[in-house]
Homo-oligomer: A and B are copies of this chain.
Amino acid sequence: MDLDTLAKRLEALGNVTRLAVFRALVRTGRAGAPVGYLQRRLGVPGSTLSHHLRKLIEVGLVTQERQATTLICRADFEAMTETLGFLGNECCRDLPLCASAAAEDAAAEDADRDVA
């Protein structure tokens, strides 16, 4: 996974409707749920929901599987875990969370500053 993929996934989740969809799907576990369930649950028109679902599918956070006339949607847990891991490692690694790393940060400041 690269920065671009991460950004696309974050963008996909960066919309209240899609975030609600994804959260609802996560809560249905690996069983997933049909589109109609999400539609009733979230009160979103079918065409709008379909549009948002496609985005989530495009970036690999959701999968669909047809069962007769209904489409079962599932959150892709592996993809989400990978995403969270990459975000944490790539963008937040060595976070001075303990607030005690100020000293070395200050030391590194000037060195970093002039990197053209």
Contact = CB atoms under 8 A, between A and B. Distances in A.
A56 interface: no
Contacts of A33: 109, 112-113
Copies of the chain in the assembly: 2
A73 to B, nearest CB: 12
Counting chain A residues whose Cβ lies within 8 A of the other chain, the interface size class is 35 or more
Contact of A84 (B14, B88, B105, B108): B88
A8 B3 contact: no
Interface string A1-26: 00110111111111110011011001
Question: Which residue, of A29, A77, A94, A104, has the highest number of chain B Cβ atoms within 10 A?
Answer: A29
B40 A19 contact: no
Contact of A26 (B3, B15, B92, B99): B92
A28 B108 CA distance: 8
